Amino acid sequence: MNIVVVGYGPAAQRFVETLAGKGFDGRVTVIGEEPRPAYDRVHLTSYLSGTSADELTYAVPDGIVTRLATRVTAVDRAAKRVVTADGGAEPYDVLVLATGSAPFVPPVPGAEHAFVYRTIEDLDAIRVAAKDAVEGVVVGGGLLGLEAADALRALGLKAHIVEMSPWLMPRQVDEGGGSVLKGHIESLGLGVHAGSGVQEVVTGPDGRVAGLRKPDGTLLEAQVVVFSAGIRPRDELARACGLDVGERGGIVVDSAMRTSDPSVYAVGECALAGGMVYGLVGPCNTMAEVAADRVMGGTAAFEGADMSTKLKLLGVEVAQFGAMDGALDVTYMDPVGGVYKKLFISDDARTLLGGICVGDASPYAALRPFVGKELPAAPSDLLFSGAGAALDLPDEAQVCSCNNVCAGDIRTAIADQGVTDVPGVKGCTRAGTTCGSCVPMLKQLLEKSGVEVSKALCEHFAYSRAELFDIVRVRGITTFSELIAGHGHGRGCDICKPAVASILASLHNGHVLEGERAALQDTNDAFLANIQKNGTYSVVPRIPGGEITPEKLIVIGEVARDFGLYTKITGGQRIDLFGARIEQLPEIWRRLVEAGFESGHAYGKALRTVKSCVGSTWCRYGVQDSVGLAIALELRYRGLRSPHKLKSAVSGCARECAEARSKDFGIIATEQGWNLYVGGNGGFKPRHADLLAKDLSTEELIRTIDRFLMFYVRTADRLQRTAAWLESLDGGLDYLREVIMEDSLGICADLDAQMGQHVATYADEWRATLDDPEKLGRFVSFVNAPGVPDPSIVFASERGQIKPVMAR
């Protein structure tokens, strides 16, 4: 069978993934207009804050043929083939239309000068335009419109939101919720213009955008205008080839996702299923799975979808589930605290019909599965303690709407497949892998199913890392042998040895290669350098804040030249030297140390870098000295051993050139001081950091970071990044504030002292190694021939530098 998929968005991706999972052995060709495969549109905004296009892009399943940057211009149903703009043709036995939707741009004068917020290329264009702009306007106050406004704000623009409805997010909240939401957004400095339309996009004499005029004649000055006023299904191919389409657009499909031609299916935002076009990822995924099942001869059917949503926009939690009306309702509103909750219930006060949450969405996970079912408790109680009700969910209650996973699916995974943790549930069921809002529910279902998740670090210790940390701290233990003799058993393993080594280094700040500690380290820490795939090592000297003198640059260049190393500027504003053989490391370090460099700890679970922009010293937008602060922070926290690596950044203004909100702790300058963000990270699972405190003085900032880092070091699990640690805290960000800013546990003095000890006792590991002949004895390729280099290490030349040649 030959299947052709037109359009390569998330729905097409889910279709081909489902086919592959079902063992389809025919040919599948996916034709997409964009220059890349499908990517994660749920987290598209993170692209503007440092997440790369590659990180967002989904992997193409094995065996799938892709034709990218190719537009299909016609469907020849009689000949069963599609025609492309380059003159080519692709035959099919089954055609799947996954053409998605297009942004709606109202037909007003000047609209051609505005942007839309849909693709990575759209965001690239907005980023370029924002460089020369001061203010921006987003037309549309729905979910995507608020994301677009947040993006403009993050790019340094003063942003306005224009919404035709009387309040923001009219599909998700009612007037009361809209009022509370408006207050939140205006407090962030954004302008909200609800109940207003657009008359024209105004341009100046130079043809550039100058503003947006509202129907009442008011001009909002702006150099960037973005339309995010809804979507329209892309059904033009279906119309042209005679398939049935809806009166208001959309390709008509039945419950099997078949169009009026049984050989043609339609899935995603282009499909009109049951008279409705769905614009959420969950229903679109389900459509794709149904179509794939039918192509394979199955009987799956699409019978509508749960349109519930839980979001965090501009730092504000918003959730809506079920219906937005009912015979009775129970409302809680706190305009001072910015919280609005409302439940809709049946006229006999027994059945939950729906609900709205703004400012506090904690009841959402527990209550959404009970829509259409009998209330498990009094409605007023559910608004504040609804989480407990989730423990008795019926099997048919949907837990993950993104991937259509019910409570029974999760219980089956726990019972039949031995799943004992949230990652296991995700791997077996896909629940929690898209937007993540159902993760709290997954934890509750695990607990209710009687799963006792072991907290033991490994088979040699019955304690968690945090518990071992306290044992070492309270009892003054200084060696692994003492710890395992008194509180463990056996000889240890490659899990507990590095973890305990990190704890000992965090508490006592001794050299990692001192005494028995040397045997505890993993490969990188054992040689104070990062091992590469050909057995050589990379050397990364510390360059605090990215600031470096010409003389030091010359030294790095001379070292790289003399030792024949590959040089690469890293994303953390440092220079990485690759290709050093193990016996060369001490001499390379000696040259660098003599020039004033020290270890950058690129090999350790420790602070890596504090990145910075040039700040107020040079930049016309800078409001604080970001370089000076970055250097001070990097020198303060250098060498701090922690459960996982730590990255930081300091931006000198809201334009955020240092990308501080993608770091474990990031700082953004304000006119009044510094805003501190925590719990962010990039990489495989990007996460924006959360705002912990704002307008701090430098002294307040450093004290708060000290306590944040030490509390993390003390309580996090092994190899747990700050993002996952923050999400796992019972009470989250509010609890963290209580502990480190309000001293609710009475430990702040202890945390301060612990950081003070670290700062006072820091010593450079490279220099300490060079001063110790015993430690230097480790750095040889062959113990019985210290001066002989490893002959298996071979290099070739590429772009004027070395590259490793691997043995075949």
Binding residues for [4Fe-4S] cluster: 613, 619, 653, 657
Binding-site residues for siroheme sit at 657
The span from the CA of 593 to the CA of 634, in Å, is 18
The span from the CA of 598 to the CA of 605, in Å, is 17
Place of tokens 């996954």: 98
CA 687 to chain centre: 3
Secondary structure class of 467 (helix, strand, coil): helix
Q: Which of 99, 97, 32, 22 is nearest to 68 (CA)?
A: 32
Q: List, in sequence order, every residue forming a beta bridge with 539; answer none if it has no partner.
A: 577
Tokens of 148: 């677009």
Burial class for 712, CB neighbours closer than 10 Å (0-12, 13-18, 19+): buried
Q: Which of 500, 658, 759, 669 is nearest to 647 (CA)?
A: 658
The span from the CA of 153 to the CA of 651, in Å, is 14
Tokens of 601: 């700890």
DSSP states along 593-659: HHTT--B--TTSSBEEEEEE--HHHH-TT--S-HHHHHHHHHHHHTT-B-SS-EEEEEESSTT-TT-
Q: Are 91 and 75 in contact (CB under 8 A)?
A: no
Binding-site residues sit at 613, 619, 653, 657
33, 34, 40, 42: CA torsion to nearest 10: -80
Please give, one letter per residue, the 3-state secondary structure of 313-369. Answer: ECCEEEEEEECCCCCEEEEEEECCCCEEEEEEECCCCCEEEEEEEECCCCCHHHHHH
Q: Which of 150, 123, 116 is nearest to 313 (CA)?
A: 150
Q: Are 266 and 251 in contact (CB under 8 A)?
A: yes
